[in-house]
Structure 1
Amino acid sequence: MSALEQAIEFLTPQVGGELGVSDWITVDQQMIDDFARTTRDMQWIHVDPARAATDSPFGGTIAHGFLTLSLASRFFYDCQVDLPGQAMGINYGFNKLRFLAPVPAGSRLRGRFELTGIKPKPSGKLLREMRLTIEIAGQNTPALIAEWLGMVVFTDAG
């Protein structure tokens, strides 16, 4: 049986179920500032705590939406199980992505993953479809929800 066939056999019963929940990560002001410098997005709602405290509706600085999204890869590492014969996983993109709540500096975030589908692809690859919810500790509304696609490449792929 090929690695792709083994992966399909392993994952099929998991479709519709939770893959895992990551550890919590604190998004502090230093992380926000570092992300702002890297992306050159220095908007004051992210990097000016004094102004954000008085002039923003959030009462302080908030993380960039794309910073929150960029943590998805880290969250997935906490939850993933490599499949037999898996050489690597490749980010394949998103079908849908919504930022639902701001992430105030100092917030703790974690990722929750649900396997929503699997599709064999040419050359012995497997498209893994997941629902990603990034939760904010102490809040009912998540920071974001996304339909995330990952391509699994196997060692015996053509």
Structure 2
Amino acid sequence: MKMALIALFALAVVLGAGLFILGAISRSGKAPGLLEGRLAPCPKAPNCVCSEEKGDAGHYIEPVAIPPHVEGMGMIRETILEMGGRIRDEEGGHLAATFSSRFFGFVDDFEIRADFLEKKVHIRSASRVGHSDFGANRRRAERFSVLCMEKMSRKDAEKDGEAPKP
């Protein structure tokens, strides 16, 4: 019994140390950025979603539709900051941000490509390390979409003279 407890404790220490090391590794590096004017495709691992991966159901997520009156990146930037993201780079219609996990400090990349001609906001959310993220990047991208649509709806209501909804 004593040996089993020691082995279990040793396993927990090794596992914890491994997770801290992976967290440290994830803090180095940066988002892949745009490739030929589009967000980078997801790797084969299930820890990434991208709205420009329409042919890949496992990685695909719908882009956010932009109403005609919305221009610029202000609302997008504001939404990312409200969600706890840190903006790392912004150039034209491309924005790169990071989100960090509370435990172990894993860093995930979150990229946006706003296409104001097509009136779409494309999203890519991906883990920097590991294989599975237990759906964290998909949930983050979906939350971003919902928050953006809510903000745009409020902006529409204000534009039309209605009282904004809380």
Given the two structures, how large is their TM-score scaled by the length of structure 1?
A: 0.29
Structure with greater contact order relative to length (CA < 8 Å, sep ≥ 6): 1
Richer in strand (by share): 1
Given the two structures, how large is their TM-score scaled by the length of structure 2?
A: 0.28
Higher-Rg member (1/2): 2
